[in-house]
């Protein structure tokens, strides 16, 4: 579990879960291109030095997936940048998610929430992907608050379009545990009581188990035919899909 050396963490201070989705093999035998799509947690706390490091990495666009209330509480540091284009697209809006019933496995409950987003927010997801399909905006960072749920869904769609095998898409989703566990256990979270023996395996089971994404992909296959079938349903045309694939696959 979580054994994907291809994924690059950008290793910047005060931001834990930011990584390049380049370096993954595809079913066609090619590799996903680095410095094209970077998934991330919120960018509200990073220093000016880290901002410059991202600009030096080539970043041209930020696509912020958070709710308006989240953007107001912690504005993106590139909001008023003259160098990087900032685009906000609220991915989930005012959706209400059901509490997990006690008899339902956590991974299954997470998947059901993701499937709910996929069904109810097609238009928003389509607009996000349409933005990312524009070659002139790349390289781009897309992010939510923790870089896990909303960002995880968009990552799965991008990697699916690129032809990355399902098991690697689910492992990429689970990698959040590797990048966030130290943050979770650090003094940055003083108001939380963390049980003794809390580990990366605990974090996985509670927050980003690969089974959650595996079930979500299965849902797309059963209800839309495939990941590509879903993104078409969300509003992307063939040219836009080809544009994402061409940008992401070497």
What is the structure's pLDDT at 2?
45
Question: Residue 1 pLDDT more than 50?
Answer: no
Question: Residue 173 pLDDT more than 70?
Answer: yes
What is the structure's pLDDT at 7?
54
Residue ranges of the domains in the chain? 8-248
Report the alpha-carbon distance of residue 62 to residue 64 in Å, rounded: 6
φ and ψ at residue 42, rounded to 5 degrees = -55, 145
Question: Residue 140 pLDDT more than 90?
Answer: yes
What is the structure's pLDDT at 180?
80
Q: Output Rg (C-alpha) for the chain, integer angstroms.
A: 17
Return the CATH number of 8-248, one of 3.40.50.620, 1.10.340.30, 1.20.140.10, 3.90.190.10.
3.90.190.10
HSE, side-chain direction, 13 A CA sphere, residue 73? 7
Share of the chain above pLDDT 90, in %: 76
Question: Residue 202 pLDDT more than 90?
Answer: no
Report the alpha-carbon distance of residue 19 to residue 172 in Å, rounded: 10
- In 3D space, the residue among 149, 147, 157 whose CA is nearest the CA of residue 126 turns out to be 157
Per-residue buried b or exposed e for 91-127, using 16+ beta carbons within 10 Å of the residue's own CB: bbeeeeeeeeeeeeeebebbbbbbbbbbeebbebbbb
pTM for this predicted structure = 0.93
pLDDT band at 237 (very low <50, low <70, confident <90, very high): very high
Region 24-48: mean pLDDT is: 95
What is the structure's pLDDT at 11?
84
């Amino acid at each position: 579990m979580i054994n994907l050396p291809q994924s690059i963490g950008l290793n910047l201070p005060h931001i834990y879960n930011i990584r390049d989705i380049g370096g993954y093999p595809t079913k066609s035998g090619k590799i996903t291109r680095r410095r094209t799509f970077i998934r991330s947690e919120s960018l509200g706390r990073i220093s000016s030095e880290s901002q410059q490091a991202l600009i030096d990495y080539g970043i041209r666009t930020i696509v912020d997936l958070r709710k308006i209330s989240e953007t107001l509480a912690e504005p993106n540091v590139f909001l008023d940048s003259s160098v990087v284009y900032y685009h906000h697209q609220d991915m989930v809006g005012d959706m209400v998610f059901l509490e997990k019933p006690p008899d339902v496995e956590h991974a299954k409950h997470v998947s059901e929430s993701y499937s709910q987003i996929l069904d109810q927010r097609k238009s928003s997801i389509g607009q996000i992907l349409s933005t990312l399909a524009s070659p002139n905006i790349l390289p781009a960072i897309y992010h939510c608050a923790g870089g896990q749920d909303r960002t995880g869904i968009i990552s799965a769609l991008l990697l699916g379009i690129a032809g990355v095998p399902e098991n690697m898409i689910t492992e990429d989703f689970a990698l959040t545990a590797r990048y966030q566990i130290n943050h979770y256990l650090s003094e940055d979270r003083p108001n939380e009581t963390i049980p003794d023996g809390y580990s990366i395996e605990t974090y996985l089971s509670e927050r980003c188990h690969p089974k959650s994404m595996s079930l979500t992909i299965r849902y797309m296959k059963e209800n839309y035919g495939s990941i590509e079938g879903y993104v078409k349903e969300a509003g992307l045309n063939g040219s836009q899909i080809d544009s994402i694939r061409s940008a992401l696959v070497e």
